[in-house]
Amino acid sequence: MLDKADLVLCYERLYEAIHKAISKKNTESLMDAAEQCEKLGPATELDLGLVNKVRPPELARELVILTILLSLPPLEEDKIKLMNLDVAKEFEKVANILLSEGPRRFILGDIVGIHDSLDVIGHRLFGYSRIIVAVHIEEKEPNKALGLYLEASPHLQDTPEAMRFINDKISKLSKTTRCWICDREIQGEDINYVYLPATINEYMRERYGKNVPYLINGNNIAVCKVCYTMIHNLSDEISKYYYNLTMEKLTMMEKHIYEKIDELISIIEKIMTRLEHIEEDMKNMEEERTRWEREIEWRISEIEKRIGMDHY
300 lies in some domain: no
Burial 10-47 (b: 16+ CB within 10 A, else e): beebbeebbebbbeeeebebbbbbbebbeebeeebebe
| Confidence at residue 22, expressed as pLDDT on a 0 to 100 scale | 62
Q: Is residue 271 part of a domain?
A: no
> Please, what is the Cα angle at 92 between 88 and 93, to 5 degrees?
115
What's the structural domain count of the chain? 1
Query: Which CA distances in Å does 22 have to 55, 97, 174?
Result: 21, 21, 42
Residues with Cβ within 8 Å of residue 30, at least 6 apart in sequence: 17, 18, 21, 63, 64, 66, 67, 70
Q: What is the DSSP letter of 156?
A: G
The answer as to whether 180 is a domain residue is no
Q: Would 62 be classed as within a structural domain? A: yes
Q: What type of residue sits at position 300?
A: I
> Is 92 part of a structural domain of the chain?
yes
Q: What is the DSSP letter of 83?
A: S
Nearest to 97 by CA among 54, 64, 128: 64
Fill in the DSSP letter of residue 81.
G
Examine residue 110 and state whether it is found in any structural domain, yes or no: yes
pLDDT value at residue 90: 96
Residue type, 276: E
- Cα–Cα distances (Å) from 96 to 55, 69, 119, 162, 265, in that order, read 24, 12, 9, 20, 82
What is the per-residue pLDDT for 312?
52
d(CA 218, CA 53): 65
Instruction: Answer whether residue 45 is part of any domain.
Output: yes
Q: Do residues 119 and 105 touch, judged by C-beta distance below 8 A?
A: no
**Helix, strand, coil: what percent of the chain each, to 5?**
70, 5, 25
- Flag whether 53 is in a domain: yes
Q: 59 near 31, Cβ under 8 Å?
A: no
pLDDT in tens, the chain (312 residues): 556 676 677 777 777 776 776 666 667 777 777 777 777 777 777 666 666 777 878 888 888 898 889 889 999 988 999 999 999 999 999 999 999 999 999 888 877 788 899 999 999 999 999 999 999 999 999 999 999 999 999 999 999 999 999 999 999 999 999 999 999 999 999 999 999 999 999 999 888 888 889 999 999 999 999 999 999 999 999 999 999 999 999 999 999 999 999 999 999 999 999 999 998 889 889 888 888 888 888 888 888 777 776 655
Its domain, for residue 53, covers 4-175
End-to-end CA distance of the chain: 152
